[in-house]
Structure 1
Amino acid sequence: MVRIMTVRVAVVGMSIRAAGVRSAADFWRLMSTGRSGRREIDHAELVRRRIPVHRYKDPAYVPVAYSMEDYLGFDLEAFGFSRSEAELTDPQHRVMLEACYRAVESSGCFIGSLPDRVGVFLGARTSGYGAQIEYCSTSAGGNVDLSGLAVGTEPDYMSTRISYAYGLTGPSVTVLTACSSSGVAVHLACQAILAGECDSALAGGVALDVRDAGYTFTEGGIYSPRGRCEPYMASADGTVDGNGVAALFLRRLDVALAARNPILGVIAGTAVNNDGRERAGFTAPGVAGQTELIEEALDVAELRSTSIGLLEGHGAGTGIGDALEIDAATRAFRSTGAGVGDCRLHSVKANIGNLTAAAGAASVIGCLLALRHGRIPPNAPLVEGASPTDLRGTPFTLADTPIAWRRSDRGRYAAVSSFGLGGTNAQVIIGDAEPEMQLASRKGRSWQLLPLSADDPERLTEAVDAVRAAVDGASAEARQDIGHTLRTGRPELTTRAAAVIPVDDSPTGERWPKPGQFRTPPEVPPALVLALPGEEAGVPEAALALYKAEPAFRSAVDDGLAAMEHTLAPETFAAVRDAFLHGRCLTATNVSQPVLHLLGVGQHAFLGALGVEPDLLVGHGVGELTAAQLSGVLSGEDAARAVCWRSQAMSDLPERAEAAALFTRRMREVRLNSPTTPTLSCVTGAWLTSEEAWDPGYWGAQLREQVPFDEALRAVVSQHPEAVYLQLAGGTDPRETARLRGVAEDAVLTLVSDEEAPDGWCSLLRAVGALWERGVRIDWQAYAERDHALRVDMAPRAFERIPYVHPSLLEHCPGIDPAELSGKQVD
């Protein structure tokens, strides 16, 4: 019975490194131009790498390699390793840690905070790294941590190390089926997602030989005596191993769409089988098994072979293997209606060598790139002048130039063949995402807050420059996508800066942070003090901007207005309401103080929606009544009424003592509670006690007997010297007052500054960014509910690349290039 993929699996992220390839973009440039990463090793390098003379002078020695650049480089701190642990760990494991990070990062997510169950299915090439360390160490009379060596080098622990490092709780399996390992890994990952064992999965493989310095071929063996991997060419005489790593991030399609990940392609069907005994020998491929595999994958995908525009073949470059593969594929394609020359045949092994355990995943990435760019790449050996094998009468063609691969109503599909020595075969069929999947609406603010972070100031400078370059000239939708990705899909690292940009392409208002403005927040978030002033300045414009822009702000203000409508005279209430509806406000106390109160309450509601809650409250004048609401002393309705009474008393009665008596009587009408957040008393200059909060007389005294604001700050500063101060509402700038009490000027922020009062919304976003820079936690997921866009691949984290190799290998293990052990890079 044939399986049908009723639940679809999307590819949302990918990562690849190989010979001449540091990224997916590099890979496409290599493929689309028909070039390869092959290089010939000269005599000087062979000597430098201490290759024995008798070996490289052997006529059977082939000094050719597909070398992966910087294969020993690693960032200890980023991945939580000690130096000794890194030296004991096979570089295959190390580069796979980074490749998985990059694959998820390219989907616009951070691997350390994925909300769903994530599986890990990875393949690896057989490595002698651990055995060489043990042999060289004991030969030199040294000791080695065998337990640490096993964990760091044996394939059993590669996938589970990834799961542990990133907190991934789905199935974690290392796949070892030779050259089909990563193809099988993709199949197993899809099966786990379809079975509900996980919602997302990482699948891929790694093939890295740290001593790769050519090889000795055997007559009649699988390796090319010319050192050329030329799949499907008349001259094909063997394969050449490559070095590289490839990883895919897969998600159940509905999960990917909900997360607004980029949909790079959809896996239409997969299949895995074994040739059994129907072949010439254990190491020989089987035509029957390969034919059945392709037919099964097409059945699973509910497709005919006529739908397949590209067959990314196994293409190892062995004359017999390629011929049998073409025979099997021809039978399978003809059985479902394929005509002559309908499908392009290609193999990335011609570009990057045979990545063995990573070959299948690399082939999938090649197909995804062809779908993205709408072009099928040329066959590299043809570009270099080789002659093709005879494909007359088959469904397949080869070419030395790229061809356009246009979209159609039937969709575009590519099939990937991955065959392992020993007979385990895998087939993966990939298609376009349906058009409606690519069209997701954006919603968002007209200004975008961009949190930027890196491991150090140098790397943050690079990140700021990269984001600025991406923003310049970008559309409004692209700017929203960039902002959304930076807020919800990147880690919060130790060096921080924030920028606020308009979504239109005007540079007006853009302020890009400079290195002197970068911050390193404390390990423990600082105490947050909300300051609520008793005087207003420039609030009407800010009130209008915030009321129009932010639902949480607007809702809190509307609740307050509803309470004030029954307390204020009609003309006074209309003036208060006009401050928020039209940006107009009278300077009269009975209007300005209610406006100031509602502005502070609304801003607090906005912050609260982002998970920002104060540790301490400091209010002065009418601001202490606002603080009373925020601390729970007064309900929202009672606080609104109290502010109206207080402002009316101050406006009508010039004698404060008589304002105070009337206000005291009014305060007996409301329920008074104990403060739930420490609140400073501006009557005593100490913390408000429950007894004071319950006493209507205290609130009457508060109207006429207040200590100066700078004196009131004394208790806060003495008990919380590292606190961050944020002034809500508008009013006089608190920085000078705070400075009098020893508070650092840059620790005092304001939500509505005098110079930005006309655009209070932008000022509010800058303040949120400044809080985040200083270590205050922001709930970016909550922020996204109002500012939700698509996730995009941009601003990758820069990793430090310091080479690590076990010391015992430096003198006793020929092949490692000393040039790889020098210097420090950041990538």
Structure 2
Amino acid sequence: MNGSVPAGRLLRLSRWRDKIGRKLVRRVIQVGNPVDAIREVGGRVMSDRVAVVGMSIRAAGVRSSADFWQLIRTGGSGRREIGHEELARRGVPERRYKDPAYVPVTYPMQDFLGFDLKAFGFSRPEAELTDPQHRVALEACYRAVESSGCFIGSLPDRVGVFLGSRTSDYGAQIEFRSALTDSALDLAGLAIGTEPDYLSSRISYAYGLTGPSMTVLTACSSSSVAVHLACQAILAGECDSALAGGVAVNARDAGYLFTDGGIYSPRGRCEPYMASADGTVDGNGVAVLFLRRLDVALAAGNPILGVIAGTAVNNDGRERAGFTAPGVAGQVELIEEALDVAELSSSRIGLLEGHGTGTSIGDALEIDAATQAFRSAGAGADECRLHSVKANIGNLTAAAGAASIIGCLLALRHGEIPPNAPLVEGAPPVDLRGTPFKLADHPIAWRRSEHGRYAAVSSFGLGGTNAHIIIGDAEPEVRHASRKGRSWQLLPLSADDPERLTAAVDAVRVAVDGSSSDVRQDIGHTLRTGRPELTTRATALIPVDGSAAGVRWPAPERFRTAPEGPPVLVFMFPREHVGASDAALALYEAEPVFRSTVDDGLAVMEHVLDPEGFAALRGAFRHGGRPVAPQISQPVLHLLGAGQHALLGDLGIRPDLLIGHGVGELTAAQLSGVLSFEDAARAVCWRGQAMADIPGGAEAAVRFTRRMREVRLHAPTLPTVSCATGSWLTGEEACDPGYWGAQLREDVLFDEAVRTVVSEHPEAVYLQLSGGTDLLQAARLAGVAEDAALAVTPDGEATESCSLLRTVGGLWERGVRINWEAYAERDHALRTDMAPRSFARIPCLHPALLDHCPGIDSAELAGKQVDR
């Protein structure tokens, strides 16, 4: 939501206590279907639901949500043991790694130092001063939005950022090591790059996001609390969308020393809900969700991965054994409140993604609390599956809750509840008899039902701040949406370099081959409106129906590099084209904006031409006839060019300069403001009639001069080159009726006109409108580069409306800006997770830490760029 909002928007979901207990007040208007639960806030009708539309996760053994699903579905683990030789290479002291209490186990996030400096606008010194946690969070937020089919740099609504972060000594180590060597250090830059205060606001700044922005620090519940706060902000109208999640990356992670009675496992195994559980193991990773108010998500065509049914946050207070101990009463109250907010019986919850740290006491208390809460809310025995992704990727602390939510969303999407990884590996489970919960050693089918499917996530932070999130299916009505589009899909493809563009083209080709017409529309819409416009470009044109086998996919030799700024664009209008009526018919049938412009012109020309001539003119657009007489062919050519100009202009493609040849100069005169639309239509008819009646030329020129005195002439408002003089059309010439009479019979100096443009704008792009390519050939002879000249309807393609789409693609490849949102008015579909951007992976580490960062194996950095 942009701009100021009346105070009325602050009507919120509120809670209060009375003698009976905690209740939730919800102001809900039901409109035909529960899916359309809405509320009116500040005079606007707003959805009362929050949808998850995008997600991003990286962790041990996980580079994407697809990797994550494969890992948890198979009961796999990203756990890794480190040998003594590698520990020594990493700089771990021998006395430490040979200590019997040392546990050489880690859940490593691969390539966490890799960073694309150029893509994210960082200098190398700035990146080196920035904690890897901040860098991977920056990329994860980009990915979460990207997976929704949107580009984070062009989101139209107000977007909030709510992220949790693990405590890090990255900055302290840099400061300490630099002090030992008396190295100069930018302390302000170090603070901005490493302190959690600036994590979320740095992301808001980087992407221009103007909603609430805050870092959440509640230990292991941070990312779940972040999701709760994001939902509250969306429902309160403070933002329409939000990024929520957390990051936990320790650049010094190479194992740990355990202590008796501590929370860490002496075996280095995280085994939640197992009889063998003896502690937790920290993992490394990042998990981010992209949340949108449901009506906003539906309007944007985002994929609805799930709907947040209810959230709750509380603290255990003093009702526990100590500050670090969990509190059963607080957990019970938390779960009951979340179920109350969601208006659900606990019997509807099919999956509980538990906190599950793997400590015997913590797990037992969690199961006890969940059992009490679920029983009080209607659950029977053995109704809910219990799971924890910590067994797969370790305890991601500040990112653990968001990772759990992503696991639940994937289970909903794939219709399976994943197994408990320790059971798959043979670990003995705890006794859950008499509880509502069950464990599994294999994937369990989770079929859709008319009552919907729900999963719940528990997160308990050291210190007592707890969060519970309930996620539900998107109802069938939400998933169905109408599509509208052209019969051909224009696919703009771009990347940072040819190698990455080649990979993107291959990925899109695989997605298109064998796909349905709906999927092809979704792919096209996403590539046009949901991806950044990078410098290395190519386009493809695919039919919506039928096989894509005949599609010409761009090869690397056809890639183009767009300039930093849009090039000067020159529109050229010819004097004749025998196939113009073929193009006229195709565009008239396919494009409403073109048709409307032509119809306006026909309405004027009907009063100028005789009935027989007008019938022939109208037939050229409605039936495809081929008039040869100039009194008809020239009006056809003029309306064709004017209609194409209107259509291109509707897409944001507007000329910087104009050149007209013959009758095309009158079309250019209209577009430059010399003639009004109506006067230009009349003048073209007069010109054609004069040429037909008096073919000798001189007398025809006298009659065109005389008629031009009947119209108002103006100085051009858009630079135009005269083909009568070969130089810029002056205001005096444009306002002289004699100039237009002489223009009919004088020699055409088109070559000189083009040279005038080339001399002043050598990098200009030229587009021939109306029809044919004759002007392009002449322009190339006059010095225009072969690759800089295009035609809207080249010879041989006039009957194909897709030729105009190919032209739009060609202009975009050359750096001309296209208004893809306007394009979507005629070609709109859903958004999909398609063609993710490939980022460079340049390791960035501050020089002071090169030999003091045990979380990094120096052998892995061999040959990579880590220095300045």
Question: Which range moves more in the overlay, 576-585 or 480-489?
Answer: 576-585
Instruction: Indicate if the aligned counterparts of 1:738 and 1:745 stay in contact, CA closer than 8 A.
Output: no
Instruction: Indicate if the aligned counterparts of 1:537 and 1:754 stay in contact, CA closer than 8 A.
Output: no
- Take 1:773 and 1:815, find their aligned partners in 2: how far apart are those partners? 43
Instruction: Indicate if the aligned counterparts of 1:187 and 1:271 stay in contact, CA closer than 8 A.
Output: yes
Q: CA deviation at 1:732?
A: 4.2
SS in 1 for 2:347: helix
Residue 381 of structure 1 aligns with which residue? 422
Instruction: Indicate if the aligned counterparts of 1:802 and 1:823 stay in contact, CA closer than 8 A.
Output: no
Residue 542 of structure 2 aligns with which residue? 501
- Take 1:779 and 1:749, find their aligned partners in 2: how far apart are those partners? 19
- Take 2:267 and 2:635, find their aligned partners in 1: how far apart are those partners? 86
Residue 272 of structure 1 aligns with which residue? 313
Residue 607 of structure 1 aligns with which residue? 648
1:441 to 482, 490, 510: 482
SS in 2 for 1:757: coil
AA paired with 1:503?
V
Alignment of 1:21-100 (within 5 A): 21-100=62-141
SS in 2 for 1:331: helix
Residue 3 of structure 1 aligns with which residue? 24
Instruction: Indicate if the aligned counterparts of 2:254 and 2:854 stay in contact, CA closer than 8 A.
Output: no
- Take 2:549 and 2:448, find their aligned partners in 1: how far apart are those partners? 40
Q: CA deviation at 1:819?
A: 3.0
- Take 2:356 and 2:853, find their aligned partners in 1: how far apart are those partners? 32
Residue 152 of structure 2 aligns with which residue? 111
Instruction: Indicate if the aligned counterparts of 1:733 and 1:750 stay in contact, CA closer than 8 A.
Output: no
1:777 to 803, 809, 817: 817
Residue 805 of structure 1 aligns with which residue? 845
Residue 410 of structure 1 aligns with which residue? 451
AA paired with 1:560?
G
- Take 1:494 and 1:502, find their aligned partners in 2: how far apart are those partners? 26
- Take 2:217 and 2:125, find their aligned partners in 1: how far apart are those partners? 27
1:204 to 245, 259, 264: 245
- Take 2:73 and 2:398, find their aligned partners in 1: how far apart are those partners? 23
Alignment of 1:178-257 (within 5 A): 178-257=219-298
- Take 1:597 and 1:728, find their aligned partners in 2: how far apart are those partners? 10
Residue 620 of structure 1 aligns with which residue? 661
Q: CA deviation at 1:707?
A: 2.5
Instruction: Indicate if the aligned counterparts of 2:772 and 2:791 stay in contact, CA closer than 8 A.
Output: no
Instruction: Indicate if the aligned counterparts of 2:221 and 2:467 stay in contact, CA closer than 8 A.
Output: yes
* Partner deviation per Cα, 1:645-693 (whole Å, 9 max, x = no partner): 1111111212111111112222222222221111121222222222222
Alignment of 1:675-690 (within 5 A): 675-690=716-731
1:692 to 733, 738, 744: 733
Structure 2 unmatched runs, 5+:
1-15, 17-22, 29-47
TM-score (norm 2): 0.94
Matched, 1:792 2:832: yes
Residue 330 of structure 2 aligns with which residue? 289
Residue 7 of structure 2 aligns with which residue? none
- Take 1:658 and 1:143, find their aligned partners in 2: how far apart are those partners? 85
Q: CA deviation at 1:213?
A: 1.0
Instruction: Indicate if the aligned counterparts of 2:723 and 2:753 stay in contact, CA closer than 8 A.
Output: yes
TM-score (norm 1): 0.98
- Take 2:216 and 2:854, find their aligned partners in 1: how far apart are those partners? 29
Question: Which range moves more in the overlay, 726-735 or 225-234?
Answer: 726-735
* Partner deviation per Cα, 1:764-809 (whole Å, 9 max, x = no partner): 1111111111111111111111111001001000000011111111
Instruction: Indicate if the aligned counterparts of 1:4 and 1:301 stay in contact, CA closer than 8 A.
Output: no
Question: Which range moves more in the overlay, 791-800 or 534-543?
Answer: 534-543
Q: CA deviation at 1:149?
A: 1.0
Instruction: Indicate if the aligned counterparts of 1:122 and 1:159 stay in contact, CA closer than 8 A.
Output: yes
Residue 370 of structure 2 aligns with which residue? 329
Matched, 1:818 2:839: no
- Take 2:306 and 2:78, find their aligned partners in 1: how far apart are those partners? 26
Q: CA deviation at 1:456?
A: 0.8
- Take 1:218 and 1:3, find their aligned partners in 2: how far apart are those partners? 44
- Take 1:434 and 1:456, find their aligned partners in 2: how far apart are those partners? 41
The 1:815/1:478 distance shift into structure 2, 3 A limit, reads closer
Alignment of 1:472-487 (within 5 A): 472-487=513-528
- Take 1:823 and 1:723, find their aligned partners in 2: how far apart are those partners? 43
The 1:824/1:792 distance shift into structure 2, 3 A limit, reads farther
Residue 624 of structure 2 aligns with which residue? 583
Question: Which range moves more in the overlay, 63-72 or 657-666?
Answer: 657-666
- Take 1:139 and 1:667, find their aligned partners in 2: how far apart are those partners? 86
Question: Which range moves more in the overlay, 802-811 or 582-591?
Answer: 582-591
Alignment of 1:305-316 (within 5 A): 305-316=346-357
2:691 to 641, 650, 662: 650
AA paired with 2:850?
L
SS in 1 for 2:108: coil
Question: Which range moves more in the overlay, 330-339 or 804-813?
Answer: 804-813
SS in 1 for 2:242: strand
- Take 2:789 and 2:516, find their aligned partners in 1: how far apart are those partners? 35
Q: CA deviation at 1:406?
A: 1.0
- Take 2:566 and 2:231, find their aligned partners in 1: how far apart are those partners? 41
- Take 1:732 and 1:175, find their aligned partners in 2: how far apart are those partners? 61
Residue 300 of structure 1 aligns with which residue? 341
- Take 2:548 and 2:848, find their aligned partners in 1: how far apart are those partners? 56
Matched, 1:361 2:382: no
- Take 2:78 and 2:215, find their aligned partners in 1: how far apart are those partners? 28
Matched, 1:526 2:567: yes
Residue 725 of structure 1 aligns with which residue? 766
SS in 2 for 1:338: coil
Instruction: Indicate if the aligned counterparts of 2:662 and 2:748 stay in contact, CA closer than 8 A.
Output: no
CA RMSD of aligned residues (A): 1.3
